[in-house]
Structure 1
Amino acid sequence: MRRLLTLIALSLPLLGMSGMARAEWPNDKPITVIHAFAPGGDALQRMVADAMQKTLGQTVVFENRPGAGGATGTAYGARQPADGYTLITAYPGPAANYTNTYKSLPYKPLEDFEHIAQISVGYMGLSVRKDFPAKTFDEFVAYARENPGKVSFGNVGIGSYADT
């Protein structure tokens, strides 16, 4: 029930734009929503695409275009015509962080895209094994500084952000 209410709340901006969209779009071809990651972590994005299709009365095609931590699909979206028929669901990695991580990208997040809506908020957490000596973040930082090379970590890729 909580997910349904969240979906409804997140879809309200789309409902508000539906009149504008019908007035400005010729509605003569499908809208494509690109998710720059592999299937599996895209449930919310698919729900929003479905809500768009129902609200706009227009076909919405959902495409997964994974690769390079989201940069491949984002670059693909940047190469599409700027006609309003292609949308990209982006995470902070390919949408912002990568400009500080990679020397060059095949797209410019602030220039190649018009950011129109935020559909979710993600939180990151730090966890350790139960028997790890640090119990707070400050203790963890102190432990890591006092024990160089003894702390390891994992993530989904340099500059990326796991928000699934």
Structure 2
Amino acid sequence: MDWAQPLRHVGRRVTRQRLCVLEAAQRHPHATAEEIHRDTLSELPQFSLQSAYVVLNDLVESGLLRRIDLPGHPARFETEIADNHHHAVCISCGRVEDVACAVGHAPCLTPPDGLKMNILVADVLFRGICADCAARGENNHSEKPQHEGDSDDY
């Protein structure tokens, strides 16, 4: 994808750093800042990790990237921002996959009646064991499933 027009559309200058970060995020969906930074170094050898974080945050703020915050994992980034999807994470290896929304429009879940808020997004995170880890017998059940009514608060 040519990222120049989307950058201009959101009022951002077209810079080599922004283009490299967007291209890396597109090539590697769900990549961490460190992974995106590492991918850009062949084109931008002087590009620091701190600069990568600054560019990533700017692109998230401008709406060109989505930041995915998974519990116990570093933030990840993706270019798929126009659809309504969720994520599944393997609790053994950390692999992240997209999961289509069952409803098809945002938000996927219906908030309770009486909530005095206009809900725009409902994030759903599925946790499990990916097929590769299951095939290797890596059924790490270190995460305790949370059931409705369960609480870690004492």
TM-score, scaled relative to structure 2 = 0.26
* Larger of the two Rg values belongs to structure: 1
Higher relative contact order (CA 8 A, sep 6+): 1
Q: Which has the higher strand share?
A: 2
| Bigger fraction of residues in helix | 1
TM-score by length of 1: 0.24
